[in-house]
Amino acid sequence: MEENQNTTYEAAQHAARIIRTCFAEDVRVAVVLGSGLGAFADELAQGAGAAVFSYEDIPGFARSTVEGHAGRLVISHVDSVAVVCLQGRFHYYEGYELSDVTFPVRVLAALGVKSLVLTNAAGGVNPEFEVGTLMLITDHLNLMGVNPLRGGNDERLGVRFPDMSNLYDAEFRSVTRKEAEDINLTLREGVYAGLTGPSYETPAEIKMLKTLGADAVGMSTVPEAIVGRHSGMRVLGISCITNAAAGVSGAPINHEEVMETGARVQTQFTELLQRVLGKLIY
C-alpha cells in the first residue's frame, strides 16, 4: 500500500470490519510479537472462540519474510479480556514503506485498541544486560532517518504534532514491574535505539549508540510506537536481549542466536504477558 494518508483511514476501517466478522467483541488491548517470541500467540490461538487470520487474508497487510515472524493475527481472551495479537511484523529493511510497516497498528486502532504492547528481539548495548534479559523500554532513539508520520496528516488518524514525552507509558511499566516481581522475574529498563538494518551494527556504531544513551538496539518497534501514540494508544515496550551487540562481547552476531534466545525465554515471557495484558484496560 503506497503512502497516502487520505486513504489509510478507510483502508484500516475496511480491514477492521473483515476481522469483526469473526470476532465481534470490543478489543482494547493488543500485542505485537517480535522474532522468536511467537509462543504467546500459539497459546492464544488455542483458546475457546479464538479467531485466527493469516496476514495475506487481511486487506492492506504485507507479508513478513523474516524467520520467526509467522504472519498471523490472533484474537482470543486472556482472563476474560479480549486481546488481539500480531504474530510477527513487517520491517522497513524488507523493502516496505513505513505506511506498510505501521498499517497493522492503524487497523488495531480501527478495532478500538487503546493499549498497545510492542515486543522485540534486541541487541544489548548496555554491557550489564545479559543475553536473555527482558528490558522495559523507557524511551527510544529514532535513528532510522525517517518518521512514519511524514506526509499529509488525516485528523481522523491523529493530530499533526503528537506529543512523545510519555510514549512508553510510565503507569504500564509500573504494572509490568509488579507482575514480574510476583513471578520472581528480573526486568531491566532502558532506552531502545531503532535502526533500519538489515545488517547488524558495526562496533563503532554501537560505541556511538552507547554514547547517545542507548541500552538496546533493534530494527523495529519505533515506527509502530510513534503511530500507536499518534492513534491515541498508550504503549508498553518490552525488548528481549537476544544477543550482545557488536563489539560488546567480541563474538559474531547471527539471526540463529536471536531465535534460540527467544525460544529459551518464551515460557517466562508468555507468563508475564498473560499476567499483564488484562491489567492494561483503561
Cell of 56: 495475506
What's the distance, Cα to Cα, between the start and end of the chain in Å?
A: 32
CATH code for the domain of 66: 3.40.50.1580
**pTM of the entire predicted model:** 0.92
> pLDDT digits over 68-125, tens only?
557 999 999 998 899 999 999 999 999 999 999 999 999 999 999 999 999 999 999 9
- What is the number of domains present in the chain? 1
| % the chain with pLDDT above 70 | 91
Q: Which of 59, 8, 19, 61 is nearest to 231 (CA)?
A: 8
* Active site residues per annotation: 35, 69, 91, 93-94, 121, 219-220, 243, 255
- Cα 21 vs. chain centroid, distance in angstroms? 25
Please, is 118 exposed, middle or buried when counting C-beta atoms within 10 Å of its C-beta (0-12, 13-18, 19+)? buried
* Structure confidence by residue, pLDDT tens digits, 225-279: 999 999 999 999 999 998 887 767 666 666 676 667 767 788 889 999 999 999 9
Domain boundaries, position 198: 5-279
